[in-house]
């Protein structure tokens, strides 16, 4: 029952699961805000200064409680906001609260498909935003490839991009020199604090919530040893798992070895694994030939950006039966011996689909980076080079100082 209240207007106001969930979403957002002192202080200043007055900001980011606090900052700072999320990660209660309490134009629901997601990205862009905040470069891609939004190439003031996946796409796939895109994940604070400590904790939390299995003694293969992968491997080891890292980059693989992890290839590591986690940001990391190597009752999870890190189509095609056996666990029976492979959350981000995402305090830092980056674009976009680039150093240091003030010196 997805609502589209203003269908008679040129563009809809929102498309969410159920506006009646708003009161529960408000409670979630209030709880998050009570643990986000950095964002709370920014909200007070932005409400006075109104740096976003008269501007429309189009956003693609996970619609959950911490994001709700960010929406408060932007709307009280004067912005009109259109927001969409990602498949499997939306908190419908939060989406409803953002529509009802903050006037945000939200296009997202928990059960949306990837096709829905792209349609919702188009809804966001239909508001002709002055600035975009992207997550995986999906908004950027539409601006560069869809004629309906090509005019934004000349009108957009600037953008932020949350992820390494999106940064790679901007630098490798698109001619993204029309405006400055500040890459949040290029900051050391984001990589070290949010990715290593936040993602690592939330991935383990999501897997345990989804499965209720013990991690102690499990043989776990972590594919990808970037900041998110290394944090995940470290948290798994801390829970008593025996972790093997698969990494294509030789230097990063050496880093994993020096930090005490087993390193191997997929072909050698998979047959002995109890659990396999992808966290690369690349497509088709696990395919038919890899599923064939896995042993009976292997648990498979994705913690990278896109669902398509795991080729679910090939997994479905090669399986004789599929059964949802827990809310976030699907069993696939494969081969003559009918071995079972257990896929978590349909290969959506396990920490957000089966859990609540990164810890609140971690996202206090990450969303402060986003907020101050958007403010820089709104007030002084001309000072930024028109290429994908790191967040300005003074912003990163400001957020680091605020984090120390509230986390260490408080």
Q: Known binder of ligand: residue 400?
A: no
Are 198 and 309 in the same domain?
yes
Are 69 and 106 in the same domain?
yes
User: Is residue 8 included in any domain, yes or no?
Assistant: no
Domain CATH for 395? 3.40.50.1480
Rounded CA gap, 101 and 217, in Å? 47
Are 134 and 217 in the same domain?
no
**Domain stops at, among 311, 327, 353:** 353
Are 236 and 290 in the same domain?
yes
Q: What is the pLDDT of residue 81?
A: 98
Which DSSP string corresponds to 213-245?
A: ---TT-EEEEE--SHHHHHHHHHHHHTT-EEEE
Q: Known binder of ligand: residue 68?
A: no
Domain CATH for 302? 3.40.50.720
Rounded CA gap, 301 and 199, in Å? 14
Q: Known binder of ligand: residue 163?
A: yes
**Structural domain that includes position 310:** 191-353
**Are residues 170 and 386 in contact, defined by beta-carbon separation less than 8 angstroms?**
no
Tokens of 230: 């290394």
Please name the residue that has the structure tokens 């957000």: 352
Q: What is the pLDDT of residue 88?
A: 85
Q: Known binder of ligand: residue 229?
A: yes
Are 369 and 304 in the same domain?
no
Rounded CA gap, 285 and 354, in Å? 21
Q: Known binder of ligand: residue 404?
A: no
Q: What is the pLDDT of residue 11?
A: 55
Q: How far is CA 97 from CA 5, 17, 65, 102, 381, in A?
A: 15, 11, 10, 7, 31
CA angle 374, 92, 325 (to 5 degrees): 125
**Domain stops at, among 313, 328, 353:** 353
User: How many residues are recorded in the chain?
Assistant: 410
Element (H, E) at 32: helix 22-33
Q: What is the pLDDT of residue 6?
A: 36
User: Is residue 398 included in any domain, yes or no?
Assistant: yes
Q: Known binder of ligand: residue 230?
A: yes
User: Is residue 5 included in any domain, yes or no?
Assistant: no
Q: What is the pLDDT of residue 8?
A: 31
Tokens of 145: 């490839």
**Domain stops at, among 353, 375, 392:** 353
Q: Which residues of the chain have pLDDT under 70?
A: 1-12, 175, 409-410
As a whole number of Å, the CA-based R_g of the chain is 21
**Are residues 199 and 303 in contact, defined by beta-carbon separation less than 8 angstroms?**
yes
Q: Known binder of ligand: residue 257?
A: no
Domain count across the chain:
2
Are 260 and 245 in the same domain?
yes
Q: Known binder of ligand: residue 366?
A: no
User: Is residue 1 included in any domain, yes or no?
Assistant: no
**Are residues 25 and 95 in contact, defined by beta-carbon separation less than 8 angstroms?**
yes
DSSP secondary structure code for residue 73 in this structure: H
Are 279 and 206 in the same domain?
yes
User: Is residue 217 included in any domain, yes or no?
Assistant: yes
User: Is residue 310 included in any domain, yes or no?
Assistant: yes
Q: What is the pLDDT of residue 10?
A: 43
**CB atoms near residue 43 (< 10 Å):** 21
pLDDT tens by residue, 373-407: 999 999 999 999 999 999 999 999 999 999 888 88
Are 223 and 349 in the same domain?
yes
User: Is residue 27 included in any domain, yes or no?
Assistant: yes
Are 172 and 27 in the same domain?
yes
Element (H, E) at 183: strand 181-183
DSSP secondary structure code for residue 3 in this structure: B
Q: Known binder of ligand: residue 351?
A: yes
Buried b (16+ CB within 10 A) or exposed e, 356-390: bbbbbbbbbbbbbbbbbbbbbbbeebeebeeebeb
Are 162 and 227 in the same domain?
no
Q: Known binder of ligand: residue 22?
A: no
Tokens of 393: 């150093």
Are 226 and 280 in the same domain?
yes
pLDDT tens by residue, 109-133: 999 999 999 999 999 999 999 999 9
User: Is residue 11 included in any domain, yes or no?
Assistant: no
Q: Known binder of ligand: residue 231?
A: yes
Rounded CA gap, 182 and 179, in Å? 10
Are 271 and 296 in the same domain?
yes
Residues 6+ apart with CB under 8 A from 260: 237
């Amino acid at each position: 029952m997805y609502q589209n209240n203003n269908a008679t207007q040129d563009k809809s106001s929102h498309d969410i699961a159920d506006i009646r969930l708003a009161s529960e979403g408000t409670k979630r957002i209030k709880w998050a805000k009570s643990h986000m002192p950095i964002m709370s202080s920014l909200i007070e200043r932005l409400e006075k200064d109104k740096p976003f007055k008269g501007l429309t900001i189009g956003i693609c980011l996970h619609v959950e409680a911490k994001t709700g606090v960010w929406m408060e900052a932007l709307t009280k700072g004067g912005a009109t906001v259109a927001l969409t999320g990602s498949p499997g990660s939306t908190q419908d209660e939060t989406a409803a609260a953002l529509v009802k309490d903050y006037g945000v134009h939200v296009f997202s629901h928990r059960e949306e498909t990837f096709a829905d997601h792209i349609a919702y990205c188009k809804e966001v862009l239909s508001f002709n935003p002055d600035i975009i905040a992207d997550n995986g470069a999906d908004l950027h891609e539409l601006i560069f490839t869809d004629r309906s939004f090509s005019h934004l190439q000349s009108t957009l003031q600037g953008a932020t991009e949350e992820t390494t996946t999106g940064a790679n796409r901007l630098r490798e796939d698109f001619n993204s020199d029309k405006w400055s895109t500040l890459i949040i994940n290029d900051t050391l604070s984001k990589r070290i604090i949010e990715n290593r400590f936040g993602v690592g904790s939330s991935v383990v939390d999501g897997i345990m919530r989804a499965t209720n299995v013990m991690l102690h003694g499990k043989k776990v293969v972590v594919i990808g040893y970037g900041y998110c992968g290394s944090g995940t491997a470290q948290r798994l080891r801390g829970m008593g798992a025996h972790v093997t890292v698969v990494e294509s980059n030789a230097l990063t693989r050496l880093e994993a070895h020096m930090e005490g992890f087993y390193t191997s290839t997929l072909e050698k590591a998979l047959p002995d694994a109890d659990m396999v986690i992808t966290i690369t940001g690349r497509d088709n990391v696990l395919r038919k030939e890899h599923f064939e190597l896995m042993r009976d009752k292997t648990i498979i999870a994705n913690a990278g950006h896109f669902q398509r890190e795991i080729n679910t189509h090939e997994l479905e095609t090669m399986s004789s039966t599929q059964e949802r056996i827990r809310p976030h666990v699907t069993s696939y029976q494969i081969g003559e011996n009918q071995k079972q492979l257990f896929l978590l959350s349909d290969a959506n981000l396990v920490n957000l689909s089966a859990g609540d995402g990164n810890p609140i305090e971690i996202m206090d830092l990450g969303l402060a980076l986003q907020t101050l980056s958007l403010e820089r674009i709104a007030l002084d976009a001309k000072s930024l080079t028109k290429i994908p680039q790191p967040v300005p150093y003074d912003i990163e240091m400001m957020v680091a100082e605020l984090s120390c003030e509230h986390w260490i010196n408080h």
